[in-house]
Amino acid sequence: MKILVTGGTGYIGSHTVVELQQKGYQVVVIDNLSNSNEAVLDNISKITGIRPDFECFDLIERERTLDFFSRNSDITGVIHFAAFKAVGESVAEPLKYYRNNLVSLMNILEGMQLNKVPFLVFSSSCTVYGQPEELPVSETSPIQKAFSPYGNTKQISEEIIGDFLETSDVKCIALRYFNPIGAHESSLIGELPLGIPNNLVPFITQTAIGLRSQLKVFGNDYNTPDGTPIRDYIHVVDLAKAHVIAIERMTNGNNKKALEVFNLGTGNGQTVLEVIKSFEKVSGEKLNYVIVERRAGDVEKVWADTRFANAELGWKAAMSLDEMTLSAWNWEKAIANK
């Protein structure tokens, strides 16, 4: 079975390509390398023995995208990761985010429709819940006004898909990720943030390796046990495996609605200081950090109710916080040694 993975040289996409190949799927990747590089394909092939087919172009180019689908009519499913994801940048450059994330999605949907590609897995985010009133947050919790244009692209994307499915035979599973961290156990693929990382774990590992002088912890006056915000951190390989299960669910005809939505988290919330403590424990490094003001736009606490995903997908995140921070550290050391 042939699966198109858009954004397949990116962080979550590359780990998903590995899981798909290891389950016997043939994979073709489209990526414009705007936030990744082609060497990732070589590293995937070092893990799996297979270099995925690759086409480098921008999915906002409608003709190129439709041409791709017409040349690849044997595709069974699409896993659509390709998007811009930096929250702060989306505030500064909203049109860049709306154009990239929404136009590429519409081109993909059109290509699927024209070429009768039946199954789509879409990368959504727990950002659609904002600060939930009840925790853990379940898939039926209300969608809140988006905190950023990036978050809004995920909300609008889910709506576009919902409307599109009313008029089409395509089936879709939208996966709302909580906070993916960590790297593949081989340390051959992982997260490669360009420039200064926005996210906590890459900032921790880059500080420990000496690329950054100090981690800033954004606020310790939240209503949480140690005052720092709570997130549901999930290992990227656990997340990747859920995509394969989502494809299997649809190809086996087990999906119950045209559009199904699942939370992908562990169900546990951890504070920023707990993540730092875990990192210090597994790495043996003392982290240089300082508490500073809150970061604008951060929610206080969010973690997933995973019961629906656990029951319906037969999937459960397996890796502990220590395994996540250790794999992130091993990856940081591996790239530093290159």
Cβ atoms of residues 222 and 229 within 8 Å: yes
Tokens 């990368």, residue located = 123
Instruction: Tell which positions 81-140 bind ligand NAD, by CB under 6 A.
Output: 81-85, 100, 104, 123, 125
Residue 272: contacted member of ligand NAD, ligand UFG, none (CB under 5 to 8 Å, by partner type)? ligand UFG
> How big is the chain by its Cα radius of gyration, in Å?
19
C-alpha torsion sign, points 76, 242, 6, 119: positive
Task: Determine the residue with CB nearest ligand NAD.
Answer: 10
Out of 34, 214, 288, 320, which residue is the one contacting ligand NAD (CB under 6 A)? 34
Active site (annotated) includes residue 150? yes
Tokens of residue 51, six digits: 């270099």
Total residues contacting ligand NAD by CB under 6 A comes to 28
Interacting residue with ligand NAD among 4, 10, 27, 263 (CB under 6 A)? 10
Candidate list 11, 25, 129, 150, residue with the active-site label: 150
Element spanning 2, H or E: strand 2-6
Is the Cβ–Cβ distance between 161 and 120 less than 8 Å?
Answer: yes
DSSP string, 246-259: HHHHHHTT--SSSE
Residues 173-232 that bind ligand NAD (CB under 6 A): 177, 179-180
Query: Which entry of ligand NAD, ligand UFG, none binds 229, CB below 5 to 8 A by partner kind?
Result: ligand UFG
Closer to ligand UFG at the Cβ: 126 or 174? 126
Contact criterion met (CB below 8 Å) for 48 and 21: yes
CB of 63 to ligand NAD, least distance (A): 14
Binding to ligand NAD by CB under 6 A, coded x per residue (else -) over 58-87, reads xxx--------------------xxxxx--
Going from the C-alpha of 43 to that of each of 2, 38, 47, 206, 241, the distances in angstroms are 20, 9, 7, 21, 18
- Asked whether the CA dihedral 86, 91, 97, 102 is positive or negative, the reply is positive
Alpha-helical (H) ranges within 49-190 are 62-71, 87-92, 94-98, 104-114, 149-166
Q: Does 234 bind ligand NAD (CB under 6 A)?
A: no
Closest approach of ligand NAD to the CB of residue 181, in Å: 8
Comparison of 91 and 291: residue with beta carbon closer to ligand NAD: 91
Of these partners, ligand NAD, ligand UFG, none, which one is at the site of residue 13 (CB under 5 to 8 Å by kind)? ligand NAD
Site of interaction with ligand NAD (CB under 6 A): 7, 9-13, 30-36, 58-60, 81-85, 100, 104, 123, 125, 177, 179-180
**What is the set of active-site residues?**
150
